[in-house]
Amino acid sequence: MSGVRRTDLAVLEPFRPRRAPAGAARNSPLPFTARQGFVLIGALALAVCIGDAEAGPGAPSIPATILKWTPLLAQGFALNIAMSVLAMAIGTVLGLALGLGLISLTRPARALSWLITQFFRNAPWLVLLFYCILLMPFEVRIGGVIVPLPGWAKATAGLALPVMANVAELVRGAVQSIPSGQWEASEALAFTRLQTLRLVILPQCVKRMMPPWMNLYAIVVVATPLTSIVGVSEAMTLTGDVLSSEGRTELLVPMYLYLLTWFFIYCYPIARATVAVERRFAVR
Amino acid sequence: MMADPAAWNPGLPLIRMRDVIKKFGQTTILDGISLDVMKGQVICIIGPSGAGKSTLLRCINALVPIDSGSILVEGQEVNDPRLDKLALRRKVGMVFQQYNLFPHRTALANIMMAPVHVLKRKRAEVEAQARALMRKVRLDGKEGFYPGELSGGQQQRVAIARSLAMQPDVMLFDEVTAALDPETVKEVLVTIRDLAEEGMTCVIVTHEMGFAREVADEIYFTDRGVVVEHGPPAEFFANCRDERTRQFLSQIL
């Protein structure tokens, strides 16, 4: 228990698995690589060429058609981003609270938090979306003021729930990864548990949580088209509307690839930043 | 009658342990420890690894609850469910083998945190005190450094300063040089010696026999959870009576 001395002889050291360089050996391959981007743009160009070749005589070219609808798609995409940002913000705040519940010293609080976390982490996102759309009222009365709840707001709430559960797990994992010596030293300095969390533990957790949290955000962005199924007029829904109003089958593949490119262009910098943040915090 | 803090006076032991027993599961770590520490005394606890030395220290500031026995700190019973642990820990400072500095704060901020947030003292006043403490542990100029930028010995001295900032009545040192490179051990020991010479009450768990002989007023040898023998250093090292002590000293010295 005590008296462990530092040694120069490697054989006397306890076995420690070697730390892999950040980004090199991740649990899951990183989404949104540059190579994927090239493939995507190549596929888009190819699809446009094939579509143009298929088009009947006199029909406007596919690039021109895409360009014509771009402002509308941009409007829809703005809603995707707004929903993802809001869902992330709400989910993070709730998730922090739930994560603290997971490490609570009171058993009932811990059990309840665990149940909530497990449910919302493992439930299919689409199911949660349907629940929110169908169970939430179309307006709420707050102190005499009637606040309408449009579909996109309910869908945002539906996305925030799994974010909350995932953030809660991130918090729990990060808190548990802080060496016990930090708790001990804080206790010995007469910090209360809350002070220890606020001043010592959580500030150190932020660094550790940053990369997975950014990863989660990219996942939420890519999940926002799910809301088209429940009738939110975001980019995916609008693309469908455009296709049906144009009524040209050769537009189908280029249009959806075009939309995919938008998502890629938005998520790629986030993925790069995640790697950069990971690398920065790995070397400490 | 001893459990009344109001009845305590500096003539009585600052720490008084009687028949302290601590078990982890089936393993008995402390098997009836008794010791007295008077105000201003320096006690060194030595003994082989696994003798329960670290646990003994952690019992004194209630980091580890004991199973039976009595620990009085300034007349306050530690083995009491109604104990105000925070009040106890304000009086008892502790320094760890692994320093346990807060890596996200600078050296100066590490020292200032507890006085500002626990004692609610004014920040300006605490900062002046913290700077003085940095000078005291001979680290002036390193105030803005983060723990990761300091050597082991420097980190440990910051940890000592951090503990002193709470102005404790007694300091506990848990093998504070065991994780250090040989060349930095001395600077930490000098810091502790200075403290001891200023009259700080210290309970020191150590493997540095030369240091123990130099600073201690009383040396306790523990093995398998019991105090085998104790005495003033000169007497202790010259003619220890117990076979286990002699064997331990022959291996160490």
- Burial label, A98 (beta-carbon count in 10 A; 0-12, 13-18, 19+): buried
Whether pLDDT at B161 is above 70: yes
pLDDT digits (tens, 9 = 90+) for B68-77: 999 999 999 9
Residue B200 lies in a domain: yes
Task: List the beta strands (DSSP E) in chain A.
Answer: 139-142, 145-148
Q: Residue written as tokens 């992330």?
A: A88
What single-letter DSSP state applies at residue A14?
P
Q: For chain A, give the number of residues.
A: 284
- Chain centre distance of CA B215: 14
Q: Which of A3, A181, A203 sits opposite B178 (nearest CB)?
A: A3
Other CB atoms closer than 10 Å to residue A45's CB: what's the count?
A: 13
pLDDT band at B169 (very low <50, low <70, confident <90, very high): very high
∠ CA A37-A259-A127 to the nearest 5 degrees?
A: 105
**Residue A162 forms beta bridges with which residues?**
none
Other CB atoms closer than 10 Å to residue B103's CB: what's the count?
A: 19
pLDDT digits (tens, 9 = 90+) for B3-42: 677 778 888 899 999 999 999 989 999 999 999 999 999 9
What single-letter DSSP state applies at residue A197?
I
pLDDT digits (tens, 9 = 90+) for A165-195: 999 999 999 999 999 999 999 999 999 999 9
Other CB atoms closer than 10 Å to residue A204's CB: what's the count?
A: 19
Shortest Cα–Cα distance, B196 to chain A (Å): 20
Q: What is the CATH number of domain A33-52+61-282?
A: 1.10.3720.10
B39/B49 Cα distance (integer angstroms) = 28
Residue B73 lies in a domain: no
Answer positive or negative: Cα dihedral of A176, A178, A182, A184. Answer: positive
A107/A253 Cα distance (integer angstroms) = 54
Indicate the number of domains in chain B: 1
pLDDT for residue A5: 54
Residues of chain A with confidence (pLDDT) below 50: 1-4, 20-27, 283-284
B147/B105 Cα distance (integer angstroms) = 8
Residue B157 lies in a domain: yes
List the end-to-end C-alpha distance of chain B, in Å, as a whole number.
43
Residue B57 lies in a domain: yes
SS3 B89: helix
Q: How far is CA A99 from CA A209, A213, B40, in A?
A: 12, 14, 46
CATH code, B170: 3.40.50.300
Report CB contact under 8 Å: A188, B102: no
Residue B105 lies in a domain: yes
B66/B58 Cα distance (integer angstroms) = 10
User: A181 in contact with B at a CB cutoff of 8 Å?
Assistant: yes
A119/A132 Cα distance (integer angstroms) = 15
Q: Residue written as tokens 């027993």?
A: B21
pLDDT for residue A21: 47
Q: Which residues of A touch B86 (CB under 8 A)?
A: 190, 192
Residues whose CB is less than 8 angstroms from the CB of residue B217 and which lie 6 or more positions away in sequence, other chains included: B41, B42, B43, B232
Q: Which residues of B touch A182 (CB under 8 A)?
A: 100, 102
Report CB contact under 8 Å: B175, A188: no
- Asked if residue B100 lies in contact with residue B175, where contact means CB atoms within 8 angstroms, the answer is no
Residue B79 lies in a domain: no
% residues pLDDT > 70 (chain B): 98
User: A185 in contact with B at a CB cutoff of 8 Å?
Assistant: yes
Nearest-Å Rg of the Cα atoms of chain B is 18
Q: What residues 161-180 of chain A have any CB closer than 8 A to a CB of chain B?
A: 179
Q: For chain B, give the number of residues.
A: 253
- Over range B154-166, report the average pLDDT: 96
Q: What is the predicted ipTM?
A: 0.91
∠ CA A154-A155-A159 to the nearest 5 degrees?
A: 120
Q: Where are the domains of chain A?
A: 33-52+61-282
For β-strands B218-223 and B15-24, DSSP reports them as unpaired
- Locate all alpha helices (DSSP H) within chain B, ordered by sequence: 53-60, 85-91, 107-117, 123-136, 152-164, 182-197, 209-215, 233-238, 243-252
Task: List the beta strands (DSSP E) in A73-215.
Answer: 139-142, 145-148
B82/B3 Cα distance (integer angstroms) = 12
pLDDT for residue A62: 87
B31/B230 Cα distance (integer angstroms) = 16
Q: Which residues of B touch A1 (CB under 8 A)?
A: 29, 49-50, 52, 54-55
Nearest-Å Rg of the Cα atoms of chain A is 24
- Over range B78-84, report the average pLDDT: 91
B204/B211 Cα distance (integer angstroms) = 10
Domain that includes residue B50, residue range:
39-61+86-252
For β-strands B68-73 and B15-24, DSSP reports them as antiparallel
A100/A109 Cα distance (integer angstroms) = 10
B253/B210 Cα distance (integer angstroms) = 9
Nearest-Cα residue of chain A relative to residue B152: A6
SS3 A230: helix
List, as one string, the DSSP characters of A27-70: SSPPSS-HHHHHHHHHHHHHHHHHHHHHSPTTPPPHHHHHHHHH
Residue B127 lies in a domain: yes
> Which helix (H) or strand (E) is B170 found in, with range?
strand B170-174
Position with higher pLDDT, A107 vs B49: A107
Residue B81 lies in a domain: no
Nearest-Cα residue of chain B relative to residue A182: B100
Counting other chains too, the contacts that A48-57 makes at CB distance below 8 Å and 24 or more residues apart are A48/A254, A50/A250, A50/A253, A51/A250, A51/A251, A51/A253, A51/A254, A52/A250, A54/A250, A55/A248, A55/A250
Instruction: Name the token pair of A217.
Output: 């955000």
